[in-house]
Amino acid sequence: MHVPLVVLGGGPGGYAAAFLAADLGMQVAIVDRDARLGGTCLLRGCIPSKALLHVGRVIAECREMEAWGIHLPKPTIDIDALRARKDKVISTLTGGLATLARRRNVTVINGAARFTNSPTLEIAAPEPGGSSQTLTFDHCVLASGSRPARIPAFDIGSPRVMDSTAALELADIPASLLVVGGGYIGLEMGTVYAELGSKVSVVELTDTLLPGADRDLVKPLQQRLEKLFESIMLRTKVVGLEDTGSAVKVRFEGPEGPSSREFSRVLVAVGRRPNSDGIGLENTSVKVSPKGFVEVDGQQRTADPHILAIGDVCGEPMLAHRASHQGKVAVETLHGEPALFAPRAIPAVVFTDPEIAWAGLTEQEATAAGRGVEISRYPWAASGRAQALGRTDGLTKILVDPESEQVLGVGIVGAGAGELIAEGVLAIEMGCTARDLMEAIHPHPTLGETVAFSAENYFGLATEIYRPRAESATH
């Protein structure tokens, strides 16, 4: 079979690319080894984790109602019903993708694909005993995604040691859970299990949770997690795991020396690796970096004229919205449009409680680059809406170029920060100044106002923050 365009991988990068190609009149096929479209994000990532985080948030809110004089009984959890509801969210969305593919005449092929040469893929039969097929193409958009990074010493063959996929399956609510890695997955899934009732501990190699995020944004989250989790061990290494038959015995090496403890389950969440190996790229001219990422230019072209690459397989940040945007750039390039992937802001959201979100330049990046920026912060304690919600543990900050007063970065920690950051993305992409943000009328009372108020505070003019006049020139 020959297709003008094949998309290898049906995740948020792959299906966004294939659907746009079809909308632009191209004949396109998607190949995925999974029988369902959706990729990591829909089947074992963003969506199931957010469904479970929603449940965790509702449990927390019920508990927090105590402070308002509302006394609710401790919830009982029907784990089978919870799992079924989470799976229904996935099947509804993946069913929707199948319908959208059908309506657009996108051919969906199920099977593991491998390049035998540059314009040819060999697709294995999905079932044992079936026959494989050969597909030739004019162009391929490689969107094979990523998989959990593994630490060989942790591969002890025990079902008690999980990766994110296993943790999302929700086999049970373990009495105790050790999360190895204080990054996105560790903290999101740690929050889920802690709210469901597990005693959660986190072990992180570096001296901070979420090493990629600004410290002032991490602080309110860490303070809350210190209450929710049983322990947070920083600068600590796991040096051995052993399944005792009823638990996992974990040996640590930390600032206080060696120690060991037993946990019902362990979740290993120490990053992800690109799926660039085992797919025959050596039979093409595609170049792969030492870290395994496929190398691409601004139009998502690889070194092979027949192959473009998008999403997790071609670099960081490994985020679904980056993958989809790159997918659209790749297809627009093939369609002859002057497309370029050159965003000023790729938003990042950690969906913990509170959420942490940032876009554009971060304070860490500005410091590392020695770049002079003005930073204006607005603490949520001054926000009427945050007080009304009982969620004053937030902070909104903007990073401003002191000469042009252009907004270069926005960082937010607080309830719903992931929704609020969209305004920051737009401000940065549109080249807004701090004055633009200040003068755009925001609805009251909302948490969104804190973005405008942080701009007011940049000029020393925030209504809810008093500054003696002598200081009003400083930010």
Cβ(19)–Cβ(104) under 8 Å?
Answer: yes
Does residue number 49 form part of the binding site for ligand FAD (CB under 6 A)? yes
Among 5, 18, 19, 39, contact with ligand FAD (rule: CB under 6 A): 39
According to DSSP, residue 160 is labeled T
Q: How far is the CB of 215 from ligand NAD (least distance, A)?
A: 14
Does residue number 357 form part of the binding site for ligand FAD (CB under 6 A)? no
Q: What is the DSSP string of 109-158?
A: EES-EEEEETTEEEE--SSTTPPPEEEEEEEEEE---EEE---GGG----
Q: Other CB atoms closer than 10 Å to residue 383's CB: what's the count?
A: 25
Of residues 266-305, those binding ligand FAD (CB under 6 A):
275, 279
182: partner contacted, choices ligand FAD, ligand NAD, none (Cβ within 5-8 A by kind): ligand NAD
Query: The tokens of 7 are what?
Result: 């998309």
CA atoms within 13 A on the CB side of 343: 18
Which of 146/457 has CB closer to ligand FAD? Answer: 146
Q: Is residue 466 packed enough to be buried (19+ CB in 10 Å), middle (13-18) or exposed (0-12)?
A: exposed
User: Which amino acids are annotated catalytic?
Assistant: 444
Which of 28/279 has CB closer to ligand FAD? Answer: 279
From first CA to last CA, the distance across the chain in angstroms is 64
Among 18, 52, 135, 319, contact with ligand FAD (rule: CB under 6 A): 319
Does residue number 312 form part of the binding site for ligand FAD (CB under 6 A)? yes
Which of 272/306 has CB closer to ligand NAD? Answer: 272
Q: How far is the CB of 49 from ligand NAD (least distance, A)?
A: 6
Which of 270/455 has CB closer to ligand NAD? Answer: 270
Stretch that binds ligand FAD, among 139-147, 246-254, 288-296, 370-378 (CB under 6 A): 139-147
Does residue number 56 form part of the binding site for ligand FAD (CB under 6 A)? no
Cβ(330)–Cβ(32) under 8 Å?
Answer: no
Query: The tokens of 408 are what?
Result: 């270069």
41: partner contacted, choices ligand FAD, ligand NAD, none (Cβ within 5-8 A by kind): ligand FAD
Give 186's contacts (C-beta < 8 A, 6+ positions apart): 179, 180, 202, 204, 267, 269
Cβ(118)–Cβ(284) under 8 Å?
Answer: yes
Rounded Cα–Cα distance for residues 409 and 416 (Å): 18
Does residue number 33 form part of the binding site for ligand FAD (CB under 6 A)? yes
Residue with tokens 């543990």: 393
Which of 351/380 has CB closer to ligand NAD? Answer: 351
Which of 47/279 has CB closer to ligand NAD? Answer: 47
Rounded Cα–Cα distance for residues 303 and 305 (Å): 6
Q: How far is the CB of 415 from ligand FAD (least distance, A)?
A: 16
Among 3, 6, 7, 13, contact with ligand FAD (rule: CB under 6 A): 13
Tell me the three state secondary structure of residue 55: helix
Stretch that binds ligand FAD, among 5-13, 223-231, 335-343, 396-404 (CB under 6 A): 5-13
Which of 306/325 has CB closer to ligand NAD? Answer: 325
Task: Count residues binding ligand FAD (CB under 6 A).
Answer: 35
Does residue number 220 form part of the binding site for ligand FAD (CB under 6 A)? no
Which of 351/378 has CB closer to ligand NAD? Answer: 351
Residues lying near ligand NAD in the complex (CB under 6 A): 151, 180-186, 188, 203-206, 211, 237-238, 269-272, 317-319, 349-351
Cβ(447)–Cβ(440) under 8 Å?
Answer: no
> What character string, x for contact with ligand FAD (CB under 6 A) and - otherwise, covers 96-125?
----------------xx------------
Rounded Cα–Cα distance for residues 145 and 155 (Å): 22
Does residue number 143 form part of the binding site for ligand FAD (CB under 6 A)? yes
Q: Please count the residues of the chain.
A: 475
Query: The tokens of 379 are what?
Result: 């603490």
Query: The tokens of 354 are what?
Result: 């509170």
Does residue number 311 form part of the binding site for ligand FAD (CB under 6 A)? yes
Rounded Cα–Cα distance for residues 454 and 431 (Å): 17
Does residue number 164 form part of the binding site for ligand FAD (CB under 6 A)? yes
Does residue number 21 form part of the binding site for ligand FAD (CB under 6 A)? no
11: partner contacted, choices ligand NAD, ligand FAD, none (Cβ within 5-8 A by kind): ligand FAD
Distance of CA 213 to the CA centre of its chain: 13
**Containing H/E element for 455?**
helix 449-458
Cβ(56)–Cβ(195) under 8 Å?
Answer: yes
Stretch that binds ligand FAD, among 3-11, 129-137, 191-199, 466-474 (CB under 6 A): 3-11
Cβ(412)–Cβ(418) under 8 Å?
Answer: no
Identify any residues that bridge with 272 across adjacent strands, giving them in sequence order.
148
Q: Which residues bind ligand FAD (CB under 6 A)?
A: 8-14, 31-34, 39-41, 45-46, 49, 112-113, 143-146, 164, 185, 275, 279, 311-312, 318-321, 323, 351
